[in-house]
Structure 1
């Protein structure tokens, strides 16, 4: 048995990948009820930026509509990206645009890949997926298989028909498919009670599932947990917004951030080049190094240990606990 090799550095992509580049929709197929898979390639077959399991893309659907989707195809294919998108009628419009109007041959601008959900080396893994949360875990499963690393996958969905890639996963004794209409909700307590304590848990899915897994893992101090969120986590009580000053180390510029304004808005208004995408604290695009002061974290990307380190923050939602914050901008 061997552990999966080290993951590449996390954080914002640079250069061409960060600026965005055109891709062509070269494949489109249904992979479950309400879920469509897209295959994206560069015009002329130019190689795409490399990525590792856990990475996601920004799809720039228009000037105001940018959405993040996990890469779910082979990580060693330099010519093709694959994503899968569930249509959310109650969402903000990105999935409806993709399902209703994005067709074969269309050109769509992509930014990334970016990885805030890396697969770290371990002797084994517990994977827990809810619904479309299976997508970032698929490349992780393949990486574990290739490395000969042990794992268990518990995959739930509303019904068997709604569970993307179920045919690919069926037949593997390490995989349990648990559609809710047949087996009830995912048995989080049972899953974690029987899993080796030294195996990290990787979980992606709807917020109630993530909250249940986080609560259960908090009872095991030695357990390593990594989660990927599609929407901001339900916030605990936060301090009242306070005014502070942000200093930009590269230019020496100092900006006042009033209590009623976001740090991101102040930076953009001053002409500071900050790459943004979700503006909800879930994608990690605007992650920025902190050189001085103590950030007040309000994101859903950084782990507890990363937040406690205080050396970075997610600009779109976070603030400062100290009167002055120095950023590497």
Structure 2
């Protein structure tokens, strides 16, 4: 009996332990409820490595695309325009004048102080090249000068100088010209062009001189501009050269050059006059006008400036607009024929003695 009871207990114990083993076997198979082993950690590392590799691959593709787009943009961008640079010294500097010391091309944001210095240096250079710059109209008194200046509109000074001798021989005073027969004056002035309008102006200003100023040319700007045919430009020519009173003559050459040199961007003559006057002392105004006008007539032409023969090339921001080859540029230089003063100016070399110093003007002394 005891033996049978013992066998029953042993059987029940085995029966009770068998479900636990089965459950344990299921959990091991499913992986749930068991602590992670080496296999699970390895699987996680593999997944992470795959993700990192794919991310790097995507990044490299993006970087390659960006580089390709930049390369395409560089290829599409137009090539930069080659800028002509003036030589450090003028290539065809006229004998007897000091060469420009350095290239001083102004930057786009040139300060007012730098502009003043550059402008004054250009004037000094031109003063050395054209030491005898003067009004190129022939005159003996203020009356002849004001008449000649009025006649010079839309024609050359040479043509006016060929015409005025016969005019002043027949009508030497304002009283004579005021009482002249218009048809006779027109015939004399015909070679100057616009001779009818000019006849009306010179006879009208002569009458105004007789009636309002006692036959004398006034020495004040406000009085001169009241005369028929006389504007600020003509008035400053008369004031500066007949009365020794400083003035800036803003003719077509002057306007063109001061804009080309970037002294001002103004286009109105009165505004140009004010802008340039602020750059120079008043005592320089008259000579400055002569220097600029002479340079514009002889070297810095409107269509084909002789850049390669220009004495101020290192100071000019417009260098390269004209011919830069020295030999070709020399052929563009224009010097009037004749004597000095009162006629046409010869090349500056004609006024330099053997030692390279300015010789006296022809006819002087």
TM-score band by shorter chain is: under 0.3
Query: 1 or 2 for the larger relative contact order (CA 8 Å, sep ≥6)?
Result: 2
Under a length normalisation based on structure 1, what TM-score does the superposition of the two structures give? 0.21
Higher helix share: 2
Task: Give the TM-score taking structure 2 as reference length.
Answer: 0.19
* Structure exhibiting the larger radius of gyration computed from Cα positions: 2
**In proportion to residue count, which structure has more strand?**
1
